[in-house]
Amino acid sequence: MHKGDGYLADPALLPAVPVGLRRVLDLVVSGEATSRAEIARRSGLARSTVGQQVDHLVGRGILQELESSESVRGRPPRVLTLSPRAGTIAVADVDLLASQVAIADLTGRVLAQEPVDVRIDAGPEAVLEAVTERLLNLLERCGRDPDRVREVVMGLPCPVDFQRGSAVRPTGMPGWDGYAVAEQLSKRFRAPAVVDNDANLMALGEARQDQVDTPLLCIKIATGIGAGIITESGEVYRGADGAAGDVGHIRAVGGGDVLCACGNVGCVGALASHRAILRGLGIPESTDEDPLYGAHALAERIADNDPPAVRALRQAATEIGEVVAMLVYMFNPRTLVLGGPLSELRDDLLSGVRAVVYQRSLPLATRKLTITTTQFGENSAIHGGIALALQHIFSEQGIARMLVDEVGEG
Ligand SMILES: [Zn+2]
């Protein structure tokens, strides 16, 4: 068993992908066509061209052609799908208190998912070790060849230099600043690896759902407050330096002199994040037995209508609403999603934010705006990581890489 080093190839040296092959692959991946005849009909390509490209893709282990069980008059039709041998995607959503890993196939279907018990403040080496071990376990359990991981994606709860694949001056994450996370992951899995901000991945995961309109703005309210922006065409908007969406340090209306971890005072993240609410109520964030103790305890108090807890949540909603109203002016999103542990608490947060946004924003910006909470809950960053990986794998460069890769025995 050996795998090609297509992932190491200089992009400039990769062969051009034939237009016909691209079209055939797109139709099968999107599920629009499942047979040679259908591909020919939909693409307008000659049957011989379709046959040639299908044979090539089957030969490379990217597509498979199976006999369908539903026989229509005589010969059973042969059905084209992505081959399980085409590879897998490995995703890790690393958060301060709770982390998750998952593997998915190239149709984006999650094959297995598990929490990883490692603290982010243990440093990048320990976290990468734990995440890698768990991902390799999942691959083995699902019978997937670790040498055929096509892309690794890791989400981190801090500003990320997307090009370099490392965290940039994160707070509460000793050892992570500038550490070459993507490079290390790429070495371990012998595959391209990317690192992204957790709110970006959450936003991508939400935008990937059916019937969700873009542009989309996703606000993650957790230890801090961050935002992910998805453009109309479904891409993450990162800004000039990758810092777009780092909204937790915008000054809150009622910010006063509350000190933020960034050194400034009055940041909305220091006032209205999940962590800030827990601190205000004297609830510990985590205990030895339960890393998410704070989230559970707050949820209980809100469910019991505990007045101080409900009041704290409503106040936070108002502060967040003020910042979000400003962002709605700026970006004019079609969908606004609230995520993180607070968004799962009854409707107080959602209705509080809605009230301020509708009151503050102009009718033109809110007429068609949907304000909602996450559909995927705590899994949205995993789904976003899968979406990001698929964008790369089925890009021109990604397909070229798959084509130059050796076909393994697996
Ligand atoms: Zn700050």
Ligand 1 centroid–CA 341 distance in Å is 20
Give residue 38's pLDDT band: very low, low, confident or very high (50, 70, 90). Answer: very high
User: Residues with beta carbon < 5 A to ion ligand 1?
Assistant: 249, 260, 262, 264, 267
CA distances from 56 to 20, 24, 32, 68, 202 (A): 11, 11, 20, 21, 36
The gap from C-alpha 313 to its chain's centroid, in whole angstroms, comes to 27
CATH C-level class of 6-85: mainly alpha
Ligand 1 centroid–CA 48 distance in Å is 61
Whole-model pTM? 0.91
Rounded to whole angstroms, the Cα distance separating 405 from 408 reads: 9
Give residue 64's pLDDT band: very low, low, confident or very high (50, 70, 90). Answer: very high
Ligand 1 centroid–CA 203 distance in Å is 22
The residue ranges of every structural domain in the chain are 6-85, 87-202+382-398, 210-374
Ligand 1 centroid–CA 312 distance in Å is 20
Predicted pLDDT of residue 407: 54
Report the b/e string of 354-392 with b at 16+ CB within 10 A: bebbeebbeeebbeebebebbbbebbbbbbbbbbbbbeb
Rounded to whole angstroms, the Cα distance separating 94 from 197 reads: 10
The reply to whether omega before 308 is within 30° of 0 (cis) is no
Give residue 73's pLDDT band: very low, low, confident or very high (50, 70, 90). Answer: low
- What confidence tens digit (pLDDT) does each residue in 265-309 have? 999 999 999 999 999 999 999 998 888 899 999 999 999 999 999
Ligand 1 centroid–CA 220 distance in Å is 15
- Look up the CATH number of domain 210-374: 3.30.420.40
User: For residues 33 and 26, is the Cβ–Cβ distance under 8 A?
Assistant: no
CATH topology identical between 6-85 and 210-374: no
| Cα separation of the two ends of the chain | 7
Sign of the Cα pseudo-torsion (194, 197, 200, 206, in order): positive
CATH superfamily of 87-202+382-398: ATPase, nucleotide binding domain (3.30.420.40)
